[in-house]
Amino acid sequence: MPNVPWDEMVKWVRYLEELGFDSVWIGDHFVNWRHARASIDPWFEAWTLLAALATRTSRIRIGMVTPITWRNPAFLARQALTVDHISNGRLELGLGAGVRGDPSHAMTGIPDWSPRERVARFREYVEIVDQLLSNEVTTYEGHYYTIKKAVMKPRPIQQPRPPIMIGASKPAMLKHAARYADTWQLCQHLRRATRGDPPTQRAHRQILFRYR
């Protein structure tokens, strides 16, 4: 997480690279989303930090799961394209519906959508990001988002686009992960909750395989 001073963050990430870790991930929120620490921890903007870390490393892949509430999908795709170039093709692009009740919403005035609206928007969001990163020019007409002849140059280093990871735990989001994601993330508290629960784990796998 981006909750330590910059020099210390660089030391941590370089140490992980030296140890041979495959990737390092940071959190994309306005403040630490653990409410009790929101006014205590230092916190850096995630995409800026990711680009900076790309210049201080050479091998380790870098990524984060970005909640769709923070950014327009076209601008997010442009940020991802930029970091893919800065990192020379080491970006892992994570997308998620976000955390309901995250204090970042109240602090910034960004709407805290209902879970239903988040999931509905997510399908359009990931489709736009996927198309923009995969094509030079994209037009998209959706219920929530519209883009017209959006040009993406230069093309990403990673072809056909940087890999997309989707954070999902419930059936609707798992369907999106199956359709659009290269990899899938189950959030930490649900990993703990379903450990030793074969029926739940089996249900997750069935949804992923059915809609893949």
The string of DSSP codes covering 31-82 is: S-SSGGGTTTS----HHHHHHHHHHT-SSSEEEEEEETTSS-HHHHHHHHHH
**C-beta separation of 33 from 67 below 8 A:** no
More confident residue, 173 or 16: 16
Residue 101 has pLDDT above 90, yes or no: no
Per residue in 116-140, pLDDT tens? 999 999 999 999 999 999 999 999 9
pLDDT, position 190: 45
Tell me what the pLDDT averaged over the chain comes to: 87
More confident residue, 193 or 86: 86
Instruction: List Cβ neighbours of 205 (8 Å cut-off, separation of 6 or more).
Output: none
- pLDDT (tens digit per residue) in 11-35: 999 999 999 999 999 989 998 876 5
Q: Comparing C-alpha atoms, which of 10, 3, 68, 71 is closest to residue 32?
A: 3
Of the pLDDT bands very low, low, confident and very high (cuts 50, 70, 90), residue 108 is: very high
Give the DSSP H/E element, type plus range, for residue 27.
Answer: strand 23-27
Of the candidates 183, 163, 174, 181, the one whose C-alpha atom is nearest the C-alpha of residue 204 is 174
CATH class of 6-211: alpha beta
Whether residue 186 has pLDDT greater than 90: no
How confident is the model over 73-84, as a mean pLDDT?
98
Q: Maximum Cα–Cα distance for the chain, whole Å?
A: 49
Residue 58 has what pLDDT?
A: 97
- What is the Cα 57 distance to its own chain's centre? 20
pLDDT at 171: 80
Q: How far does CA 211 lie from the centroid of its chain?
A: 21
